[in-house]
């Protein structure tokens, strides 16, 4: 039970990162390496505001998320937008950003992990069916479910959501119909940045500390989740994230450490060979 919930918690974390990545990739065809940066900004924003401004946990997380979103929007408007339609260059810019950004954080806050302020209730445990489960798992799962529902409602019920969905489907057609897709680009970057920043703050709670390189290591698994789930599909990402989180937890526990990661990659290989478009992709 503990394993299952921890796996779900990890999956929730992956989902928060992967949902934004998937949307950005689906709409703008940009493989966003800077996503780890948004995550780190969220984590450090939360840490900084609670350590230096004396904010409580929830306002601190809000501060971190706002900082992450602002970073994402700025990055999109200043750096990604001028390179519209030159996807390789856009990917390269995000690679450069991820290098420079992480180095900048390292310069500002030092390379060592910083202890993350955890609220009282998140350090406690709850008994579920006889197993003792740390509360932060529920926090992660809850946050992921809220984000999943929010994104789905946004995509299905609002006009902007409609444009984003149509853009993922066929961008050229949407442009031809006279709709400005670029606003939608900024929007998905904002959503992705917010989700990633939230993931950063929660990862801080989950791991108990923040370090500049954290985003990059989580990002790799988020990429795997996006590919397994099918690019551009939020639901696919959710399913894949849960799958990856569970597989990783169970195999790491029952086999040696490192086997968990290896089995995730095996899963990726199997999915890609069977359905190159990912779980939610149109089967080839």
Q: Which residues bind other proteins (CB under 8 A)?
A: 25, 31, 33, 79, 82-83, 88-89, 91-93, 95-104, 106-108, 216, 220, 223-224, 226-227, 231, 256-258, 261-262, 264-265, 268-269, 272-273, 276
CB of 37 to other proteins, least distance (A): 10
CB of 166 to other proteins, least distance (A): 21
CB of 194 to other proteins, least distance (A): 23
| Residue 58 buriedness (CB in 10 A; 0-12 / 13-18 / 19+) | exposed
14 vs 138, which CB is nearer to other proteins?
Answer: 14
| Gap between the Cα atoms of 132 and 164, Å rounded | 42
142 vs 276, which CB is nearer to other proteins?
Answer: 276
| Gap between the Cα atoms of 48 and 100, Å rounded | 20
102 vs 203, which CB is nearer to other proteins?
Answer: 102
Cα–Cα distance list, 7 to 24, 124, 240 (Å): 26, 18, 12
6 vs 98, which CB is nearer to other proteins?
Answer: 98
CB of 231 to other proteins, least distance (A): 7
CB of 262 to other proteins, least distance (A): 5
CB of 276 to other proteins, least distance (A): 5
CB of 219 to other proteins, least distance (A): 9
Cα–Cα distance list, 126 to 3, 85, 141, 205, 214 (Å): 14, 50, 14, 16, 27
| Residue 82 buriedness (CB in 10 A; 0-12 / 13-18 / 19+) | exposed
Residues 6+ apart with CB under 8 A from 97: 33, 34, 37, 75, 79
Cα–Cα distance list, 193 to 17, 18, 38, 68, 166 (Å): 9, 11, 6, 6, 21
| Gap between the Cα atoms of 136 and 9, Å rounded | 8
Say which residue the tokens 């069977």 belong to. Answer: 274
35 vs 137, which CB is nearer to other proteins?
Answer: 35
| Token couple for 135 | 């509360």
65 vs 228, which CB is nearer to other proteins?
Answer: 228
Classify 217 as helix, strand or coil.
Answer: helix
146 vs 269, which CB is nearer to other proteins?
Answer: 269
């Amino acid at each position: 039970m503990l394993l299952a919930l921890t796996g779900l918690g990890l999956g929730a974390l992956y989902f928060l990162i992967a949902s934004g990545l998937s949307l950005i990739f689906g709409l703008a065809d940009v493989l966003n390496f800077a996503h780890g940066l948004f995550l780190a900004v969220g984590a450090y924003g939360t840490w900084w505001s609670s350590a230096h401004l004396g904010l409580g946990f929830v306002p601190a997380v809000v501060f971190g998320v706002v900082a992450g979103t602002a970073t994402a929007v700025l990055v999109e408007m200043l750096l990604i937008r001028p390179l519209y339609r030159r996807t390789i260059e856009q990917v390269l810019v995000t690679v450069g950003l991820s290098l420079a950004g992480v180095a900048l954080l390292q310069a500002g806050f030092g390379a060592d992990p910083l202890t993350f302020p955890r609220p009282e209730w998140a350090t406690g445990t709850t008994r579920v069916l006889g197993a003792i489960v740390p509360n932060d798992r529920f926090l992660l799962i809850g946050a992921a479910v809220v984000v999943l529902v929010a994104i789905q409602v946004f995509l299905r019920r609002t006009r902007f959501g409609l444009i984003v969905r149509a853009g993922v489907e066929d961008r050229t057609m949407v442009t031809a119909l006279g709709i400005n897709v670029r606003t939608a680009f900024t929007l998905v970057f904002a959503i992705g940045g917010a989700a990633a920043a939230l993931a950063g703050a929660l990862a801080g709670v989950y791991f108990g500390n923040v370090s500049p390189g954290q985003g990059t290591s989580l990002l790799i698994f988020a990429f795997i989740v996006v590919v397994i789930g099918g690019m551009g599909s939020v639901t696919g990402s959710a399913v894949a994230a849960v799958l990856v989180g569970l597989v990783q937890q169970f195999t790491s526990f029952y086999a040696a450490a490192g086997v968990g990661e290896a089995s995730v990659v095996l899963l990726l290989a199997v999915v890609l060979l069977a359905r190159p478009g990912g779980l939610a992709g149109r089967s080839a």
